[in-house]
Amino acid sequence: MPFATAVDGVKLSYQVRGGGQPLVLLQGQANNHRWWDPVRADFEESFRTVTFDYRGTGESDKPDEPYATRGFAADVLAVLDELGVERAHVYGTSMGGRVAQWLAADHPERVGSLVLGCSSPGGAHGFERDNDVRRSLAQPDRAAAERALLELMYTPAWLATHPGPHHTTGDPAMPAYARRRHLSASAGHDSWDALPSIAAPTLVVHGTDDVFNPAANAPLLAGRIPGAELRMIEAARHAYFEEFREIASPLVLEFLRRG
């Protein structure tokens, strides 16, 4: 398994599949690259897909120290440098979208087209999930909390015919401290002031029924990034890219092929 080395010496596991222009796929908080398993093949025929395990997940090192979305963006650059990739398209979902925002704002020369899925600017300007959602995830009954998370990601009708395993609910092998570090990194994200500097052609995608990362964040991002396009997927929840794959993958591919 190949590894890149971050600026601070942390080893980062990465994966490359497909051919064509490079496309970086960035997953959500506390997840490894398997987040993309259900849909990765949609992109491999047209693009050389690049994923990696965030520090704290998968086969990457798991230092017990503060993490940040901007730091994760620096880790992406370490992977691209290891591969000799000067410029790549970037598709980030959930916290991966937050990481992608920093990548595009801080390193415009490295980003071709940018897709931000079910993401948020964070900080004082972002829309946060409401207290009912927080309580559902924090309930002491672990099985009930896990079910609540699944129903934030997918509709009950879809879950009834797709019992799993699901790769979007967290890396089961993560140490507890790394989960806390990821939560802190995502919660501390605030890209509001940087968003207007993003020059990459940008597509913002979100499910209309996403309350895990409220759908109101999508027009907020699209309005803040110059020239950004906005696509809302009707009835989709947080994992729109998987449940509504037949809609989401073609629209993202069509946008990327323009770049």
Q: What is the DSSP string of the chain?
A: --EEE-TTS-EEEEEEEE-SEEEEEE--TT--GGGGTTTTHHHHTTEEEEEEPPTTSTTS---SS---HHHHHHHHHHHHHHHT-S-EEEEEETHHHHHHHHHHHH-GGGEEEEEEES---BGGGSPPPPHHHHHHHH-S-HHHHHHHHHHHHS-HHHHHH-----SSS--TT--HHHHHHHHHHHHT-B-TTTGGG--S-EEEEEETT-TTTTTTHHHHHHHHSTT-EEEEETT--TTHHHHTHHHHHHHHHHHHHH-
- Is residue 162 within 8 Å of residue 91, measured between CB atoms? no
Token pair for residue 175?
Answer: 């140490």
158-206 pLDDT, tens digit per residue, is 999 999 899 999 999 999 999 999 999 999 999 999 999 999 999 999 9
- Please tell me the predicted confidence (pLDDT) of residue 165: 92
What pLDDT is stored for residue 259 in this prediction? Answer: 77
Instruction: State residue 97's pLDDT score.
Output: 98
What are 81-99's pLDDT values in tens digits?
999 999 999 999 999 999 9
pLDDT digits (tens, 9 = 90+) for 60-89: 999 999 999 999 999 999 999 999 999 999
Per-residue model confidence (pLDDT) at position 80: 98
For position 248, what pLDDT does the model report?
98
Place of tokens 């980030």: 92
State the average pLDDT for the chain: 97
The whole-number pLDDT of residue 1 equals 81
Residue with tokens 């999508």: 218
Q: Order the strands of the 111-117 sheet from edge to edge.
A: 3-5, 11-18, 47-52, 21-26, 88-93, 111-117, 202-207, 229-233
Q: Is the pLDDT of residue 142 over 90?
A: no
Q: Give the integer Cα–Cα distance in Å for 104 and 89.
A: 10
Query: Which residue has better confidence, 259 or 196?
Result: 196
